Amino acid sequence: MPVIDADTHVDENDETWDYIPEGYEYYRPTTVVQAEYSETAKLPYGNNRFWLIDGSFHMRRFRSEERTRTTEAKRELKDIEARLRDMDALGIDYQVCYPTLLATTPTGRAEVEFALTKAYNRWMAARCKESGGRLKFLAILPMLTMDEAVKELEFARENGAVGISRKGIECGRPAGDPYFYPVYEAAKALDMAVCFHTGTGDPQRHDADFRMHSPWHFNYPVFDAFTSLVLTGVPNKFNGLRFGFVEAMASWVPLCLADLRARNERTGWMQSFDLKTDLFRQCNFYVACQTVEDVPYIMQHTGEDYLIAGTDYSHADQSAEIETLSTIRQWGEDGYITKTQARKILEDNPARLYGIS
């Protein structure tokens, strides 16, 4: 089985927006750079470049090549061959790519969202094709216009996407809301994963405002999605649909399972739901773990068949560790986990989630 980096990123750039559909050019993001750092500005170095979108600013970082161990050309998919060489050096066969800007929600207007998501998906389709299929992408859908979201999902599948990237709370709705059922139905029919990645679905909350850098806005929506799907029985309604929970670590799993057990035992009279005995297998739930966590303990709750891992390639936040897969491989050699468990995290499990053979 191939080794799969289950969570990497690309940085959108000016070329991304060359794919904005005709008639929507007005909504093309532009780059704004603040003057050099000053006491008045009070912005850390590297955080003074922004996308201007629909009247608001969203971070467009200058990244450290030393910290990320990447170059701008690799992060922005301008040098595909160089990125593939990095993968070879790390022993990785496939990278699954998530966005950066569009991991958040830069607009609350349907027409702007339509323009940005269409452009992103076409840019990623073209770049991933250049990789010979070694780069896979998660589509971003125009969720404010559900009929267009379903059409875009069909385009993405035809052009190499392995799933969709969602926010845990989006369009002001939890993941189990019937509003999203048309997307779930289409994803099931197209054999695509639905993955909840860290990030906010609130256009008023974004990483250009440092006061919003809290788990409440970026990590907790992933936990909420997990609980919401169980409480509303979405896995039952769309049997076989695969779900991923990505970059929020996995240590929250015991907490959420305990909460679900308590709800089932104590408030079932108020909201009954099917708390499955083998929840991860029966619901097709996959969770991304990180090397700072107690993975053997987490596997007691998830089982060994539903953990995946990613390097967060190109990013430099607390989830980024470019040697993640090498570390997990070494864990298997050292006996921290079994060799079989290591292989499943690196190969078998992400292959099932993303439908990669």
Question: DSSP class of residue 63?
Answer: P
Indicate if the pLDDT at residue 292 is higher than 90.
yes
Amino acid present at 219: N
Contact 170, 143 (CB under 8 A): yes
Domains of the chain by residue range: 4-26+71-354
d(CA 196, CA 170): 10
- Specify the range with the lowest mean pLDDT, choosing from 136-140, 160-164, 175-179, 214-218: 214-218
Strands (E), the chain: 4-9, 30-33, 49-53, 56-59, 94-98, 135-139, 161-166, 169-170, 173-174, 193-197, 243-246, 285-289, 307-309
Average pLDDT, the chain: 93
pLDDT score of 203 = 83
pLDDT tier, 300 (very low <50, low <70, confident <90, very high otherwise): very high
Quick one: pLDDT band at residue 41, thresholds 50, 70, 90? low
Beta bridge partners of 196: 166, 245
CATH 3.40.50.800 at 4-26+71-354, yes or no: no
Average pLDDT over residues 23-44: 78
Under the banding of pLDDT at 50, 70 and 90, the label for residue 267 is confident
Instruction: Reply yes or no on whether the pLDDT at 280 is more than 60.
Output: yes
Where are the extended beta strands (E) located within 224-284?
A: 243-246
Q: Quote the pLDDT of residue 268.
A: 75
| pTM for this prediction | 0.95
Question: In angstroms, how far is the first alpha carbon of the chain from the final one?
Answer: 7
pLDDT at 208 over 70: no
Type of residue found at 260: L
Find the mean pLDDT for residues 90-102. 97
Question: How far is it, in rounded angstroms, from Cα 274 to Cα 332?
Answer: 35
